[in-house]
Structure 1
Amino acid sequence: MVIELLKFQVAPDEREFYIQKDAEIWTTALAGYPGFLGKEVWINPNDATELILIVRWATKEQWQAIPLADLQLIDEKFTQAMGKSYPIVGSGEYQVRKFLQS
């Protein structure tokens, strides 16, 4: 499994609407692609503006196979729903390893 980590800055008074629209638009769209395993939203209790999105993918190849044009269309729909753009302020990719118990 591969984890896609995306960090955004969202004003506290916009956060709940952002999370709702993200679920309706981004999560719904990504769920239609092979390899999508799920998504979580992390809220930083020490920084009310920091929002982390964790997206779980079965493989990096499936994640990277999403056409750029599709991602751009989804982003345009999200930006229109929000009334403005929220640039990614940090990102990362992580591999999940499971350890065998002895």
Structure 2
Amino acid sequence: MVIELLKFKVAPARREEFIHNDAEIWTPIIASSPGFLGKEVWINAAEPTEVIMVIRWATCEQWKSFPQELLHRTEKKFAEAMGKSYQMLESLEYQVRQFPSTHP
């Protein structure tokens, strides 16, 4: 499994709108993609400008095969809905480390 971690800085007054628009615009698009396993949205109680998206993919190949044209079209739609109220700070990739079972 591969984790896509996206960290955003969002105007605090628009954080809930950002999360709602993400659920309405981005989530249905990626959820219909092969290899999509799930998505979580994390907020930091100590830092109201921080929103983190954690997206689980079955394989890196499936994640990276997301059509670029669809990515750009969806980002444009999201940007039109949110304006300049957010900024992506980080886009990271993690692999879930699994250890072999030592129990019979």
Q: TM-score when scaled to structure 1?
A: 0.91
Shift of 1:85: 6.3
- Percent identical: 58
Superposition CA RMSD, Å: 1.4
Other structure's SS at 1:87 match? strand
Q: Show the counterpart of 2:15.
A: 15
Structure 1 unaligned spans of 5+: none
Pairs aligned (count): 102
The separation in 2 between residues aligned to 1:67 and 1:50, in whole angstroms, is 27
**C-alpha spacing 1:78/1:64, structure 2 compared with 1 (3 Å):** same
Aligned residue number for residue 31 of structure 1: 31
The unaligned stretches of length 5 or more in structure 2 are none
Give per-residue Cα distances to partners, 1:8-64, cap 9 Å, x unaligned: 000111011100000111111101110011111111122110111101000000000
Match of 1:95 in 2: 95
- The answer to whether the aligner puts 1:71 opposite 2:71 as a matched pair is yes
Over 3 Å counting, the alpha-carbon distance change for 1:12 and 1:101 in structure 2 is farther
State the Cα deviation string for residues 41-96 of structure 1 (Å, max 9, x = none).
11112211011110100000000001211100000111112233633111211111
More strand by share: 2
Moved over 6 A (4+): none
Whether 1:50 and 2:50 are equivalent positions in the alignment is: yes
Name the aligned partner's letter for residue 6 of structure 1: L
